[in-house]
Amino acid sequence: MNPFGIDFGTTNSVLAQWNGRSVDVLPIDSPPAAWEAMGFDKVMPSVIGIEPSGATRFGWHGKQMDGNKLEAVKRLFATEEFVEIGGHSTSVEEAAALLFGHIRSASPGLTVDRAVVTIPANSRGLARFRTKLCAGLAGIEVQALLNEPTAAAMAYSVDATRDQNVLVFDWGGGTLDVTVLETIEGVFIERASKGIPRSGGIDLDGAFGQAVLDALPVRPSWSPVQQAQFRLEIERAKILLSTQDEVNMRLPDGRYFPVTRAMFTKSIRSYLDEARRPIEQCLADLSISPDSIDQLVMVGGSSKIPAARTMVSELLGREPAGGCDPMTAVAQGAAIASAILLGQLDKDFFVATEHALGTVIHDDHQRASFSVLIPRNHQLPAKATDTYNPAVQGQKEVRIQVIEGDPDKGIDHEDNVILREWKIAVDPDLSIMENAFTITYEYNVDGILHIVVTEIRTGKVLLRDDVSWGVTKDRSKLVELAKRVSTTIDNGSVNGSGARHAAVRPADPEVAALTTKARSKVVPFVDDEEASRIEAICADLESATGAGVDECKEALSSALRPYAYLLV
């Protein structure tokens, strides 16, 4: 059984494998010679493009397309449900699943059916859920979601023979994460983590590109195709300026324009200044000084920038560790974690929450506050329960809101995000105390938050769910989506998969209610043969159209009638 690790990055992705003694980084794409020379030979751009014919293009092929492509889908996990790619409307989940599917199929002869997948330490619960879901839709079982800085520390320190404090500065294409870990007898334990969700190579390219445009003698009027070419040249110049003082950059109109490292550094100064804050916050959270850090690990493409390396080194009073490629270290650490989970490596790791998790409560004047169940920097897995009441007498329902963020800031502060909410019924004729209920949060190493609400008076479970988003709200569509992803990968075209304009059609509420009832209240409690029969009827109903819908509804209703006692 091969242990694999996947770094599903905002701008680039990497696949690695534990070979029993060390980690191999597997080639999953073929970069142009100019990019290969800059160290991108084991990196696949996280880009999907769709040709006018419907043919799909991934990685370097997609990145070099002039248009009709989607970059940085990972940034959409926390905010968007659907996206347009060259006139094709698709769910964010499907776009990301196609990228995972391409990664899975890009190494001939290898079966990547399970892996540890990494996520930014500052990822919100929704983004973590969708990362795991999208990998699963592509046929990859996620053994665990591992914070990227923890993975990097494992790659650099897996052979360490002494206990130490490691600070990881992970500045990639889309996010900045800083994590302090402690290694004790081969166990990696997260102690504190802080990050900036939108600070990375994409943002630095934007600032540098604007500086170049401002420096040109005449403001250019370039076509969309030329603008895409300019962005690629800006990224290439940025990378070269990490090893050169000056680059003669080719403009889309054929002219050349000299750019310098000093010019680039000045253009990103605000991002460099901002990058200090997560380091200082982690040290403050742990009440330690820079002298307490035994090893500094810097990973991610943006961490190669000389000004960034100088800033971090001066702040901590030490040079970054060597021994791993900053571009591939996260995937290497994920492969090590996979080997640990499969029992092939005698090490261990523990991760922690970067944000507090709780619920919103209101007093009798409807003033809202953040009630914490799982605090920030709490080691995972974590489980917590607290008791709550309706705010006022006579309420007919209570709104349960999962909030993630910083309880020390106002409930409406931008750092505080409502992940999901539900409404549960309460008896208006009972007193506030008689309507008391408990809320339990369970947050495991898989990075998914599970919630249970239980009525204290009767012990009845009022709510059992987890944090999900987007197309996952209608889970009856997931099997259909997974089949479409598989077909698109096999055919190399969205046309062959039926994914053109692939926005998931609205579900019939009655169909969704009936199939949900069958799957949640009957299928888990009958024998395998009967469960398969009922599941097949559910699938028929979900794919039925026209007059066939009513016929399939009746078939499922008839199949459920013998189990009426389970449906109460």
Tens digit of each residue's pLDDT (9 = 90 or more) over 163-190: 899 999 999 999 999 999 999 888 888 8
- Rounded CA-CA distance 202/357 in Å is 29
What is the reported pLDDT for 505?
A: 39
Cα 412 to Cα 416: distance, rounded to the nearest angstrom? 7
Find where tokens 């330490």 sit. 121
Q: What is the 3-state secondary structure (H, E, C) of 247-312?
A: EEEECCCCCEEEEEHHHHHHHCHHHHHHHHHHHHHHHHHHCCCHHHCCEEEEECHHHHCHHHHHHH
Per the model's pLDDT, the better-predicted residue between 561 and 559 turns out to be: 559
> 181-218: b or e for each residue (b if 16 or more CB lie within 10 Å)?
bbbeebebbbbbbbbbbebbbbbbbebbbebbeeeeee
pLDDT at 500 over 60: no
CATH superfamily of domain region 356-471: Substrate Binding Domain Of DNAk; Chain A, domain 1 (2.60.34.10)
| CB-CB contact of 192 with 179 (8 Å) | yes
pLDDT cut 70: percent of the chain above it: 95
Residue 134 has a pLDDT of 93
Q: Scanning the structure block, which residue is given the tokens 């990050």?
A: 195
Q: What backbone phi and psi angles, to 5 degrees, belong to 303?
A: -75, -10
Q: How confident is the model at residue 66 (pLDDT cuts 50, 70, 90)?
A: confident
Domain 4-199+270-346: assigned CATH number = 3.30.420.40
pLDDT of residue 324: 87
More confident residue, 515 or 320: 320
Residues 287-296: tens digit of each pLDDT? 999 999 999 9
Task: Retrieve residue 169's tokens.
Answer: 């500065």
Quickly state the pLDDT bin for 415 (edges 50, 70, 90): confident
pLDDT of residue 159 exceeding 80: no
pLDDT at residue 353, as a whole number = 80
pLDDT above 80 (res 508): no
Which uninterrupted H or E stretch holds 421?
strand 417-425
Q: Domain ranges in the chain?
A: 4-199+270-346, 356-471, 507-568
Q: State the DSSP string of 520-531.
A: HHTGGGS-HHHH
- As a whole number, mean pLDDT of residues 223-232 equals 91
pLDDT at residue 495 tops 90? no
What pLDDT shows up at residue 504?
36
Identify the CA nearest to 84 among candidates 544, 503, 365. 503
Chain-centroid distance, C-alpha 409: 25
Burial class (CB in 10 A: 0-12, 13-18, 19+), 357: buried
What residues contact 429, with CB distance under 8 A and at least 6 apart?
none
Q: Please tell me the predicted confidence (pLDDT) of residue 196.
A: 92
Give the pLDDT score at 304. Answer: 95
**Shortest CA distance to 482 belongs to which of 76, 135, 115?**
135
By the 10 Å C-beta count (0-12 exposed, 13-18 middle, 19+ buried), 566 is classed as middle
Q: What is the predicted pLDDT for the residue at 51?
A: 87
Q: Which two tokens stand for residue 178?
A: 């800083």
pLDDT band at 96 (very low <50, low <70, confident <90, very high): very high
pLDDT of residue 499: 37
Is 278 within 8 Å of 199 (Cβ atoms)? Answer: no
Q: Distance between CA atoms of 296 and 319, rounded to whole angstroms? A: 7
Question: Is the pLDDT higher at 367 or at 440?
Answer: 440
**CB pairs under 8 A, 24+ apart, for 304-309?**
304/239, 304/242, 305/204, 305/238, 305/242, 305/265, 305/268, 306/242, 306/261, 306/265, 307/265, 307/268, 307/272, 308/171, 308/272, 308/275
- The mean pLDDT of 538-548, rounded to a whole number, is 80
Which region among 3-17, 265-279, 470-484, 546-560 has the lowest average model confidence (pLDDT)? 470-484
Q: Is the peptide bond before 108 cis (omega within 30 degrees of 0)?
A: no
Q: Where are the alpha helices (DSSP H) in 299-450?
A: 306-316, 329-341
Torsion sign over Cα 513, 515, 516, 521: positive
DSSP SS3 for 446: coil
The arithmetic mean of pLDDT across residues 360-376, rounded, is 89
d(CA 261, CA 238): 8
pLDDT of 566 reads 77
Structure tokens at 115: 């892996």
Mean pLDDT of the chain: 89
Question: Mind spelling out the 3-state secondary structure of 482-518?
Answer: HHHHHHHHHHCEHHHHCCCCCCCCCCCHHHHHHHHHH
502 has pLDDT over 60: no
